[in-house]
Amino acid sequence: MSAAFPSGIDPAAIVLDTIRHPVIMVAPDGRIVFANAEAEDFFRSSASFLARGGLERFVPFGSPLLALIEQVRERRAPFNEYRVEISSPLLGGERLVDLYVAPVAELPGHVVVLFQERSMADKIDRQMTHRGAARSVSGLASMLAHEIKNPLSGIRGAAQLLESVVSDEDRALARLITDETDRIVALVDRMEVFSDERPIDRRPVNIHVVLDHVKAIARNGFASQARIVEDYDPSLPPVHANRDQLVQVFLNLVKNAAEAVSGRPDGEIVLSTAFRPGMRLSVPGTQDRVSLPLEFCVHDNGPGVPEDLMPILFDPFVTTKQNGSGLGLALVAKIVGEHGGVIECDSTSRGTTFRVLMPAWKETRPDERKNVQGGEA
């Protein structure tokens, strides 16, 4: 049974435009006879422009996409292919996609193609991995709090008593026991942060106020020898976030950057912000499509992250520092993920960039964005 729709309304087109992935229909002669709104964004062209040319205009000769379409026509059965590279100047460079191609029974020779960008799928997979890892640390922290912190307090008390009665030679050993128990307790305390499941108090936050606060701390402490450069978009709307947690995120990222450029006379850290209206993400656990137009970057010109660490960089206990706990970036990923955002890392031998994508407090019209420059709204 189908519902009645007002005259001039095409329910099929509405449904296809609602789908969160590019969908096109290709005629037997290669023309793109239909493209939904996502496909227009993907190909950077209007549906009318797409209809005037063939698919070969947008994908290179010999592309796996063209071969897959021919295979579907011949066998009259749907096929999928994963992690296919599609490159074209019209597409703005290389795109890595999953392809779902199916024949149209009512229109012989026509096929429907659905694209899923791997970058988007990978972002979702990474955020789910980060959250799963954070939950593992949370469980471990709860166990350690009971099984380790309580005995450690007794050990520390005994060591302090020994320190007051033993010889000078043994006093250093007693102090070492005290210092090491303090270090272990501090590590467990850091892990317990992962078990905090309280709802986040989010408000409109001016990211530039947050970054200026982090920069002031860095310049007067761990990054006093590095040059810190700002590259801000002054018209940026507020971010929908918790201010204190954002400070924690960027303190971690800037501290990592400062350690990466430590000892370099030309050491530089760049803090940048930008508005990217095209970035949208389906966040796991919700039905909504979240816009992540706010991009915040921390870039350094250090030696880069070792390639073998890149896939696990945000996992707990992963570190390149001699005395590091490996919890800093894991906590950053947890906080960003709980805000509905995404964190990425691009690294080469010439430097590293951490990119945080976050939701805005509200979508504003271009003529309103220039007015959003104060502190927290």
Q: For the chain, what are the domain ranges?
A: 11-118, 122-195, 203-369
For residue 152, the model assigns a pLDDT of 77
Most distant CA atoms of the chain, gap in Å: 96
> Quick one: pLDDT at residue 372?
42
Buried b (16+ CB within 10 A) or exposed e, 242-256: bbebbbbbbbbbbbb
Q: Which residues of the chain have pLDDT under 70?
A: 1-13, 17, 82-83, 87-94, 118-150, 187-198, 277-291, 316-327, 362-377
Report, in angstroms and rounded to the nearest whole number, the Rg of the chain calculated over CA atoms: 27
Q: Yes or no: say if 170 and 162 are a contact pair by the CB < 8 Å rule.
A: yes
Write down the pLDDT at residue 277: 61
Place of tokens 């002054």: 234
Backbone angles phi, psi at 304, to 5 degrees: 95, 170
Fold of the 11-118 domain: Beta-Lactamase (3.30.450)
Return mean pLDDT, the chain: 76
pTM higher than 0.75, yes or no? no
Q: Report the top-level CATH class of 122-195.
A: mainly alpha
- pLDDT (0 to 100) of residue 238: 92
Task: Evaluate whether 11-118 and 203-369 have a shared fold.
Answer: no
Given a contact cutoff of 8 angstroms between Cβ atoms, the answer to whether 101 and 69 are in contact is: yes
Cα dihedral angle (289, 295, 301, 302), rounded to 10 degrees? -40
| Residues 6+ away with beta carbon under 8 Å from 53 | 31, 32
Q: Report the distance separating Cα 158 and Cα 172, nearest Å.
A: 14
- What is the pLDDT, as a whole number, of residue 76? 86
Instruction: Please determine, looking at this structure, whether the domain spanning 203-369 carries the CATH number 3.30.565.10.
Output: yes
CA-to-CA separations, 353 to 82, 117, 131, 268, 350, in angstroms, rounded: 28, 22, 22, 12, 10
Q: Which two tokens stand for residue 237?
A: 């709307």
